[in-house]
Chain A
């Protein structure tokens, strides 16, 4: 359930298809995941999971798997 949701959010925020979203996908490794998309992503994750991300959460979110770890800290399990 949460897995599906996070993939949808990544796909929508970065404007990429769901198939290429995997745990190892990293920030800045594809042109679509730049700082502009990252800002959208953060807001969408906050809205989608109803959480507030702090500075460390945002600047440490360097990959899909990191994003899952960070959401895990906010009691969202995958």
Chain B
């Protein structure tokens, strides 16, 4: 991705809004405009990322420049955004225009607001930082370079074979690595992206889908539950060329259902695996293997390697032995950041990422995930650390212990009188639907002789 990559496809349609289209030439012009208001020294910009053209244009502009950016979810609680600002001291904020502030530049409903004139010590390779933890509000970020982004884009396009004729639609948020990878892969090939905030649960979304002949559908497991629920099997979608799924394990019933959906329509269904720590994509299951290798995460993407490492030592394991899944490739992040000081760090991982997932490899070289090392669950595609939730509740002075499985957070408390208060706190703080968590009272938490909490035992008590 060199700085003129947008002009390679100048007359193609880049972004489609309801009633308006931006060509690559126009996008390039808007990007240059934003870059002009920032001087040459490397700056840090925090983007309040929403599913809108303002976010995409600023992201692309900063990608053309040497500046660094942090993308955070615009719908995130304001106190969490303030925490990001306190910790990382960004020079500028890209946000919806507010009457109380002055902006150095405006584009549609967004403006660039200067916050901090001081120089920040930013590593020359640092380009993009994303959060991995959904709504727990942890300020921990993944540090990515332009090389990470371009190598992952190359590897994804190697199997999705996106061309300038493809059209995507924005049903995944852009601050989420999977959603962002859709922008990157389409821009790289001069393809188009329909930008809409409408959800697949609405008629407007599907009207846009049909009107603009969208060629792909991308979703996390929860999106697939929605697609199924609204009856996608009976929808006429003649422009659809392929569907992709990532962001967690899709249950076997849905895999089979969408495999049949794809077969009937003669389109491809890609089950993929990845992490923000690897920019987005790590592996995929070729559609032809959906019958024989169902439940597999497939094989590594082009130029990537996967292997299984002994949980205790460092030795590589043979076929059929369980261990930690380790990925190696140019798309592996530089490292994490949790303080301002971390932004000057270079490449901590040297392209090797222990994924935290437990997996094995079969005789044909296909990988299967069987568990997790770290204590986290996924709620509708959002990764949530159980320790972070627990610590957050403890700092609000609740006596709790958190366990759970995907799509169900289980909280135990020794304070039976505070159950409703804790429920309200969780619902508001972590934006969770009440059906995705439960709070139960226990006399005491199971622990071993040294007082350490036995989470496995707690989980079986609460399930």
1/0 per residue, CB under 8 A from B, across A34-74: the answer is 11111110100000000000111011101000000000000
Contact A60 B201 (CB under 8 A): no
Question: B230–A62 contact, CB under 8 A?
Answer: no
Most chain A Cβ neighbours within 10 Å, of B206, B231, B433: B433
B203 touches A15 (CB 8 A): no
User: Is B206 in contact with A59, judged by CB distance below 8 angstroms?
Assistant: yes
Q: What sequence of 0s and 1s flags, for each residue 211-254 of chain B, a beta carbon within 8 Å of any chain A beta carbon?
A: 00000000000100110011110110000000000000000000
Query: In the complex, what distance in Å separates the CA atom of A15 from the CA atom of B434?
Result: 7
Interface size class of A (residues with CB under 8 A): 20 to 34
Min CB distance A42 to B, Å, is: 7
User: Pick the contact of A15 from B202, B225, B231, B433 — CB < 8 Å?
Assistant: B433
**Given known contacts A39-B226, A39-B229, A55-B235, A62 and B435 CB-to-CB distance under 8 angstroms:** no
Smallest CB gap from A31: residue in B: B431
Task: Say whether A40 contacts B231, CB under 8 Å.
Answer: no
Bound-state CA distance A27–B199 (Å) is 10
Q: Interface majority SS on A: helix, strand, loop or mixed? A: helix
> Cβ of A55: which chain B residues have Cβ within 8 Å of it?
230-232, 234-235
Indicate whether A37 sits within 8 Å of B230 (C-beta atoms), given known contacts A27-B202, A59-B206, A60-B203.
Answer: no
Q: Does B427 contact A (CB under 8 A)?
A: yes
Contact partners of B380 in chain A: CB under 8 A = 36
Q: Do residues B230 and A58 form an inter-chain contact, with CB atoms below 8 A? A: yes
User: Does B427 lie within 8 Å of A15, measured CB to CB?
Assistant: yes
Task: Report yes or no: B427 in contact with A59, Cβ–Cβ below 8 A.
Answer: no
> Contacts of A36 on B, CB cut-off 8 Å?
222, 380, 433, 435-436
Among B201, B202, B231, B232, find the residue whose CB has the most chain A CB atoms closer than 10 A.
Answer: B201
B231 and A38 within 8 A (CB)? no
Is the pair B202, A62 in contact by a Cβ cutoff of 8 Å? yes
**Contacting residue for B225 out of A39, A54, A58, CB 8 A:** A39
User: What are the residues of chain A within 8 A of B206 when measuring CB–CB?
Assistant: 59
Bound-complex Cα distance A57 to B189 (A) = 37
The residue in chain B whose Cβ has the minimal distance to the Cβ of A42 is: B229
Say whether, besides A15-B427, A15-B434, A39-B225, A28 and B230 are in contact (CB < 8 Å).
Answer: no
Cα distance A31–B433 in the bound complex, in angstroms: 10
A-B contact sample (4 more), CB < 8 A, given A35-B200, A37-B433, A55-B230: A36-B436, A55-B235, A56-B203, A58-B231
What 7 A-B pairs have minimum CB-CB distances, sorted nearest first? A55-B231, A15-B434, A59-B203, A36-B433, A58-B230, A35-B201, A35-B199
